[in-house]
Amino acid sequence: MDEIKHYIGGKYVSGTSGRTADVYNPATGEVQAKVPLASADELNAAIANAKAAQPLWAAQNPQKRARVMMEFVRLLHRDMDKLAEALSREHGKTIPDAKGDIIRGLEVAEFCIGAPHLLKGEFSEGAGPGIDMHSVKQPLGVVAGITPFNFPAMIPMWKFCPAIVCGNAFILKPSERDPSVPNMLAELMSEAGLPDGILNVVHGDKEAVDGILDHEDIMAVGFVGSTPIAEYVYTRGCANGKRVQCFGGAKNHMLIMPDADMDQAVDALIGAGYGAAGERCMAVSVAVPVGEDTANRLMEKLTPRVEALKIAPYTAGDDADFGPLVTKEAETRVRGYIDAGVKEGADLVVDGRDFKMQGYENGYFLGGCLFDNVTKDMSIYKEEIFGPVLSVVRAQTYEEGLDLAMSHEYGNGVAIFTRDGDAARDFASRINIGMVGINVPIPVPLAYYTFGGWKRSGFGDLNQHGPDAFKFYTRTKTITSRWPSGIKDGAEFSIPTMG
């Protein structure tokens, strides 16, 4: 059985707390590794290591820091297959999906190569009599990221790439469910030329999280996970004077207008609703056909597609649409939601609860499930399921469909499928949700824009990646300078002005 280790100071370090967690193979249900759960002393040692290393790294010019990121991108391409296999083995997602996970993180690393431009300040010559002003962006110091199981490559890179290229040192606390890829990424950063101690991976549970939130040397924290934990991290981190950005749960709606290309809409729902077994914060989990005729046409085309979904372990290659859920607890939770939906009166048109994978009977597999006639008061509508379950909520009018998305407590992503430019423009303008797709089912922005939800999907005023990341991981200092020539003698007691 493999022993996962921490990665601290540029080397692997065995855990000393005596506490561990099991890492499972989701396809077989077997324990394949043990991951250490850090004690406060272990975390404190990693933070001290990072604090000692950070000043010399910050003193490197942005171009040199960007060159490390450039080499990191090259190494990611080199080790793509190795990383994807490790990711799939612990998470359960298919190899193509695992590569997508890595590539979306890689794209943020590519964006960070532009740090010399993104870190430029401003300058005003002659802002006042003999006065010049300029601003500079400086790193915060030691910062941290707490990342989820569902994207063990992408989200860590969304956090540590901009933080590090800005001149900070980084403490990464990844999910203990699939910890190997974060370690591999840290090792590649070292190979790319990152000095020891600038990127440290500390595995752990709530004890490590609380230690990060309470430690006086951690200046900023980024988190992605469920909304209750996001709110907890945000509240505790802010109370301790830290800069905090937290992203939580989602219930992403997709409106299908009567004029939509129905084949295109069904393709979108199949991929966005069931890809990665629904374990995506940007998964479409609610389909909203507008009008009874639209709903009936949608169900006629959608039902056989859900019934035909191919579920298999990642070793099946491109033949699988999605794999198992990440843990037995996740499978049990999703099954509980399906049972609740039936009990609450929704029509379970496709029931995937009895799916069995021959030869993998102990794996955490669940077939695709499709509910129709779901209503706003049902738990399967109100709560995030995080599984291969799609709910169809029939709306009689566009306004009713729009209100469903706008009145939901989550505001992560939303989409509309239509051929009508007026409807699409109105939808994009009025919707109170952070990321909007028009005939695009998963509207995750590219790396040079920012990612972030509204309402109870996001806490904090700055988003992930893009220009916001460089704002989050730096602070601005403004310098006003005046030299003696031409300055009149005598003290000035009124507030300075530029007149």
Residue 488 covered by a domain: no
Q: Tell me, what's the pLDDT at 487?
A: 58
Q: Tell me, what's the pLDDT at 158?
A: 98
Task: Tell me how far the alpha carbon of residue 132 is from its chain's centroid.
Answer: 41
For the chain, helix (H) and strand (E) counts, in that order, are 16, 23
Residue 446 covered by a domain: no
- Burial letters for 283-319: b for 16+ Cβ neighbours within 10 Å, e otherwise? bbbbbbbbbeebbebbbeebeebbeebebbbbebeee
Rounded to whole angstroms, how far apart are CA atoms 484 and 487? 6
What are the residues whose beta carbons fall under 8 Å from the beta carbon of 426, sequence distance 6 or more? none
Q: What is the CATH number of the domain that holds 149?
A: 3.40.605.10
Q: Tell me, what's the pLDDT at 240?
A: 98
- Looking at the structure, do residues 235 and 256 belong to the same domain, yes or no? no
- Looking at the structure, do residues 227 and 160 belong to the same domain, yes or no? yes
Q: What is the CATH number of the domain that holds 324?
A: 3.40.309.10
Of 87, 2, 4, nearest to 38 (Cα)?
A: 4
**If 0-12 CB within 10 Å is exposed, 13-18 middle and 19+ buried, where does residue 465 land?**
buried
- Looking at the structure, do residues 134 and 179 belong to the same domain, yes or no? yes
- Looking at the structure, do residues 213 and 290 belong to the same domain, yes or no? no
CB 101 within 8 A of CB 151: yes
- Looking at the structure, do residues 127 and 32 belong to the same domain, yes or no? yes
Under DSSP, the state recorded for 446 is P
Residue 487 covered by a domain: no
Residue 123: give the domain boundaries.
Answer: 2-248+457-479
Residue 450 covered by a domain: no
- Looking at the structure, do residues 312 and 374 belong to the same domain, yes or no? yes
- Looking at the structure, do residues 173 and 276 belong to the same domain, yes or no? no
Q: Tell me, what's the pLDDT at 129?
A: 86
With a cut of 50, which residues of the chain have pLDDT below it? none
- Looking at the structure, do residues 65 and 194 belong to the same domain, yes or no? yes
What element of type H or E holds 287?
A: strand 284-289
Residue 499 covered by a domain: no
Task: Tell me how far the alpha carbon of residue 428 is from its chain's centroid.
Answer: 23
The structure tokens listed for 117 are 């431009």
- Looking at the structure, do residues 217 and 363 belong to the same domain, yes or no? no
Give the C-alpha distances (Å, rounded to integers) separating 180 from 34, 94, 159, 316: 11, 17, 17, 21
CB 140 within 8 A of CB 162: no
Q: Tell me, what's the pLDDT at 410?
A: 97
- Looking at the structure, do residues 189 and 267 belong to the same domain, yes or no? no
- Count Cα atoms within 13 angstroms, Cβ side, for 249: 16
Residue with tokens 């962006």: 137
- Looking at the structure, do residues 277 and 386 belong to the same domain, yes or no? yes
Residue 489 covered by a domain: no
The structure tokens listed for 437 are 């797709």
pLDDT in tens, 413-423: 999 999 999 99
With vertex at residue 294, the alpha carbon angle to CA 291 and CA 299, rounded to the nearest 5 degrees, is 125
CB 473 within 8 A of CB 168: yes
- Looking at the structure, do residues 402 and 463 belong to the same domain, yes or no? no
Domain boundary among 410, 438, 466: 438
* DSSP SS3 for 366: coil
Q: Tell me, what's the pLDDT at 489?
A: 62
Strands (E), 412-492: 413-417, 435-438, 454-455, 458-459, 474-482
How many distinct structural domains can be found in the chain?
Answer: 2
Residue 9 covered by a domain: yes
Residues assigned a catalytic role: 281
Could you tell me whether strands 131-139 and 123-128 are parallel, antiparallel, or unpaired per DSSP bridges?
A: antiparallel
Domain boundary among 438, 469, 494: 438
Q: Tell me, what's the pLDDT at 327?
A: 97
The structure tokens listed for 476 are 């601005």
Q: Tell me, what's the pLDDT at 1?
A: 75
